[in-house]
Amino acid sequence: MFMIEKAIPRTRAYTLWLAGLAAVILAGVACYLRQLSQGLAITGLSRDVTWGLYIAQFTFLVGVAASAVMVVLPYYLHHTKAFARITILGEFLAISAVTMCMLFIFVDMGQPTRVLNVMLYPTPHSIMFWDMVSLGGYLLLNATIALVTLRAEREETAPPRWIKPVIILSIPWAVSIHTVTAFLYSGLPGRPLWLTAILAPRFLASAFASGPALLILLCLVIARLTSKPVPREAVDKLGVIVTYATAVSVFFVLMEFFTAFYSGIPDHTESLRYMFFGLEGHAPLVPWMWLSMLLGAGSLVLLLVPRWRRNDTLLAAACAMVFFSLWIDKGIGLIVAAFVPSPLGAVTEYAPTLPEAAISLGIWALGALILTFLYKIALSVRSGSLLESVK
Amino acid sequence: MIISRQAFLRLSGCSFLAGAARKLKAALAPARWAMVVDPAACARQPNCTKCITACHQAHNVPSISDSRREIHWIAKEPFDRAFPGQEDEYSRERIAPAMVLCNHCDNPPCVRVCPVQATFKREDGIVGMDFHRCIGCRYCMAACPYGSRSFNWQDPRPFIHNPNPDFPTRTKGVVEKCTFCSERLGTGRAPACVEACPEKALTFGNLADPSSPVRQLLASRRHIRRRPELGTGPNVYYLL
């Protein structure tokens, strides 16, 4: 019914890719079973640093999911024809990313069998409740839109009229998922690193940089795998979006620095000092954060020069740098550093353990598997020319 | 003034009723439980941990030596750790360490963020915990600005050496913290830590009752609370 049969492997390379992903997923499942029996003690988390790799991956991936709006909005509101073919790629990416988000929340729970308590005792004053509502709704919206429009395309008919308002609704909804996710953090009185009104705008800016950067990379990979030309106009336009969003994202980070260090209020500087310079001799995040800064600045140089941005190799490098830089920023630094120093001033180091990393990798692999299946389905519907733009 | 017998009876009946109604209202008015800590009295026995032992024994708190996985409901902290931002170079010499525990805030951030109401504000001001509903998301631990909450990273039972059969033990994957001994208050007893303190450094009582010992202490002695600027309204006071 959902065209699943289109994802059945027919080539050797594809089979190997799926087998590789399956192996990583199985390793993750094995480690998760260990976590189920032994508790979260198998992670590197502690009394002081209570959230780590899992919640940080969740935060980063919410951004990737929200970024689908960067192709949906230009195409449906501004009739940007260049995005006609890749809109579905953005929506499928959102589906895969939201699924990973939910799994990362799930593996972080101490009592996963009680997960339905969130629905049994709905609690509107908890932002986590709203995060569940917005993420669940976003998954449903994107799954509906992608499947309905893809089926219409297969049957060579116009999509049903009712889908248009659903698509329009998905635009503010995408903004809401990352805003609500920022509110999870920015409303807590005792975590000064997060207690900043710019957290939600910063999340959105970094999302609209990292998500479209990933989409460009996916477009380039698909073009190579299917031996088709790169969809020039779409990739160029996405490149402009990544450039603006990266610039805004870097600007927002610098604003945090100014407020914290010029005011000199210890509460607001300590976590930043821990990230970038180290605190009381503890500096595990320092190389990561500077690498993130360097990659961000370097990518901006590549992106700001139009001639370099239009070169596929340089663009791919810039996009990989943006993605990795923001992954460090949100997928490591921002979550862990807010717990240092602790409310009692203790500096506790955190490093993910091997099983913790394996579980995280397993979820990423599952996301890649879902994305592969979905893209394969879209590819078959379009009989091989996934990316070519509509004339 | 001449007053008839009937009028006298009516008047005295009314005043008796009014008096009884006031008594009843006071009895029915919810208590506001609070604690007053006297760090100077506590410091008279620098190595004493009787309150911690009593609390942890009464509530089956596991003794885990790894400080990263440690669980405690009440702890002794140096002044600069308990009151960050108020310390100076000399405060460690001048001011005694403080016992820190859940502040049972008037406006508790942990209750606000809990997605399943496993931690909740009771009528009498106590911030309670339902260990059987907690999903272990640890959002409350991120929200608490006092570090008063602990998480069971592993099964705590092997670390409880002399279990108290009158109080539940916890399972792995749930959060726990001080409950102001709500189970003892129900039977009219003071919290275990208060009873155990040899220096009477901990005073427990009802802030809603003007004659309570906590109100008298707060009326007569200078005192501070931990991070009141955050708007949490902590109900543990520290005498200076």
CA distance A110 to chain B (A): 4
CA atoms within 13 A of residue A110's CA, in its CB half-sphere: 28
Chain B residues within 8 A of A127 when measuring between CB atoms: 113
B134–A110: do the CB atoms touch at under 8 Å? Answer: yes
Whether the Cβ atoms of residue B117 and residue A121 lie closer than 8 Å to each other: yes
Of A41, A112, A128, the CB nearest to B139: A128
pLDDT band for A229, please (50, 70, 90 cuts): confident
Q: Which residues make Cβ contacts (< 8 Å) with residue B79, sequence separation at least 6?
A: B39, B86, B87, B91, B92, B95, B96, B97, B98
In this predicted structure, the answer to whether residue B79 has a pLDDT above a threshold of 90 is: no
A127: nearest CA in chain B?
A: B113
- For chain B, percent of residues with pLDDT exceeding 70: 95
Of A38, A47, A117, the CB nearest to B154: A38
pLDDT in tens, A279-327: 999 999 999 999 999 999 999 999 999 999 989 999 999 999 999 999 9
Of B115, B175, B231, the CB nearest to A118: B115
B76: nearest CA in chain A?
A: A344
In this predicted structure, the answer to whether residue A389 has a pLDDT above a threshold of 50 is: no
In this predicted structure, the answer to whether residue B24 has a pLDDT above a threshold of 90 is: no
Tell me how many helices (H) and strands (E) chain B has: 10, 10
Q: Which residue has the tokens 């460090």?
A: A328
In this predicted structure, the answer to whether residue B85 has a pLDDT above a threshold of 60 is: yes
Q: What is the mean pLDDT of residues B100-112?
A: 97
In this predicted structure, the answer to whether residue B89 has a pLDDT above a threshold of 90 is: no
A41–B153: do the CB atoms touch at under 8 Å? Answer: yes
Strand partners, B151: B175
| Rounded CA separation A94/B160 (Å) | 46
Whether the Cβ atoms of residue A71 and residue A104 lie closer than 8 Å to each other: no
Chain-centroid distance, C-alpha A110: 24
A345: nearest CA in chain B?
A: B81
Q: What is the mean pLDDT of residues B86-110?
A: 86
CA distance B35 to chain A (A): 20
Q: Which of B239, B205, B234, B235 is nearest to B221 (CA)?
A: B239
The residue among B88 and B82 whose pLDDT is bigger is B82
Of B85, B113, B134, the CB nearest to A128: B113
B171: nearest CA in chain A?
A: A111
A118–B80: do the CB atoms touch at under 8 Å? Answer: no
In this predicted structure, the answer to whether residue A122 has a pLDDT above a threshold of 70 is: yes
Chain A residues within 8 A of B118 when measuring between CB atoms: 117
Give the pLDDT of residue B18. Answer: 81
Whether the Cβ atoms of residue A211 and residue A91 lie closer than 8 Å to each other: no
Give the pLDDT of residue A380. Answer: 82
- For chain B, percent of residues with pLDDT exceeding 90: 75
A122: nearest CA in chain B?
A: B116
Of A108, A114, A343, the CB nearest to B147: A343
In this predicted structure, the answer to whether residue A1 has a pLDDT above a threshold of 60 is: no
Q: Which residue has the tokens 């600005």?
A: B145
In this predicted structure, the answer to whether residue A235 has a pLDDT above a threshold of 80 is: yes
CA distance A371 to chain B (A): 28
In this predicted structure, the answer to whether residue B223 has a pLDDT above a threshold of 50 is: yes
Give the pLDDT of residue B35. Answer: 97
A189–B230: do the CB atoms touch at under 8 Å? Answer: yes
Q: Tokens at residue A391, please?
A: 């004339």
Of A127, A132, A345, the CB nearest to B84: A345
Q: Which residue has the tokens 């839109």?
A: A145
Q: Tokens at residue A68, please?
A: 């689908």
pLDDT in tens, A52-72: 999 999 999 999 999 889 999
Q: Which residues make Cβ contacts (< 8 Å) with residue B16, sequence separation at least 6?
A: none
Q: Tokens at residue A202, please?
A: 């910063």
Q: Which residue has the tokens 């990518």?
A: A299
Q: Tokens at residue A374, please?
A: 């979905």
Q: Which residues make Cβ contacts (< 8 Å) with residue A241, sequence separation at least 6?
A: A70, A208, A212
Q: What is the mean pLDDT of residues A361-374?
A: 96
Strand partners, B236: B35
Q: Tokens at residue B133, please?
A: 């509903």
Best of A32, A40, A268, A280 to disrupt the B interface (most B CBs within 10 Å) is: A40
B81–A345: do the CB atoms touch at under 8 Å? Answer: yes
B69–A126: do the CB atoms touch at under 8 Å? Answer: no
| Rounded CA separation A41/A353 (Å) | 10
Give the pLDDT of residue A390. Answer: 45
Average pLDDT of every residue of chain A: 92
Chain A residues within 8 A of B147 when measuring between CB atoms: 48, 342-344
Whether the Cβ atoms of residue A323 and residue A295 lie closer than 8 Å to each other: no
Give the pLDDT of residue A386. Answer: 65
Whether the Cβ atoms of residue A360 and residue A86 lie closer than 8 Å to each other: no
Chain B residues within 8 A of A50 when measuring between CB atoms: 138, 141-142, 151
User: Which of the residue ranges A121-125, B15-19, B42-46, B51-55 would you say has the lowest mean pLDDT?
Assistant: B15-19
Give the pLDDT of residue A391. Answer: 39
In this predicted structure, the answer to whether residue A4 has a pLDDT above a threshold of 80 is: no
Of B136, B146, B153, the CB nearest to A343: B146
Chain B residues within 8 A of A110 when measuring between CB atoms: 134-138, 151-152, 172-175
- Give buried/exposed letters for B163-187 (b at 16+ CB in 10 A, else e): eeeeeebbbbbbbbbbbbbbbbbee
Chain B residues within 8 A of A187 when measuring between CB atoms: 113
CA distance B236 to chain A (A): 16
Of A46, A125, A338, the CB nearest to B69: A46
Question: pTM for this one?
Answer: 0.91
Q: What is the mean pLDDT of residues A35-57?
A: 96
Whether the Cβ atoms of residue B168 and residue B60 lie closer than 8 Å to each other: yes
Strand partners, B237: B36
| Rounded CA separation A295/B121 (Å) | 47
Give the pLDDT of residue B93. Answer: 63
User: Given its phi and psi angles, is residue A162 left (phi above 0), alpha (psi -120 to 50 degrees) or beta?
Assistant: alpha
B112–A40: do the CB atoms touch at under 8 Å? Answer: no
| Rounded CA separation B73/B50 (Å) | 13
| Rounded CA separation A193/A25 (Å) | 34
| Rounded CA separation B128/A219 (Å) | 53
A335: nearest CA in chain B?
A: B142
Whether the Cβ atoms of residue A111 and residue B136 lie closer than 8 Å to each other: yes
Q: What is the mean pLDDT of residues A330-343?
A: 93
Q: Between vectors from CA B49 to CA B44 and to CA B53, what angle results, nearest 5°?
A: 150
Q: What is the mean pLDDT of residues B101-117?
A: 97
Furthest CA-CA distance within chain B:
82
Tell me how many helices (H) and strands (E) chain A has: 15, 0
In this predicted structure, the answer to whether residue B27 has a pLDDT above a threshold of 70 is: no
In this predicted structure, the answer to whether residue A82 has a pLDDT above a threshold of 90 is: no
pLDDT band for A387, please (50, 70, 90 cuts): low
Of A109, A125, A345, the CB nearest to B135: A109
B132: nearest CA in chain A?
A: A114
**So what's the ipTM on this one?**
0.91
Whether the Cβ atoms of residue A340 and residue A223 lie closer than 8 Å to each other: no
Whether the Cβ atoms of residue B145 and residue A190 lie closer than 8 Å to each other: yes
Chain A residues within 8 A of B70 when measuring between CB atoms: 47
In this predicted structure, the answer to whether residue B86 has a pLDDT above a threshold of 70 is: yes
Chain B residues within 8 A of A267 when measuring between CB atoms: 85
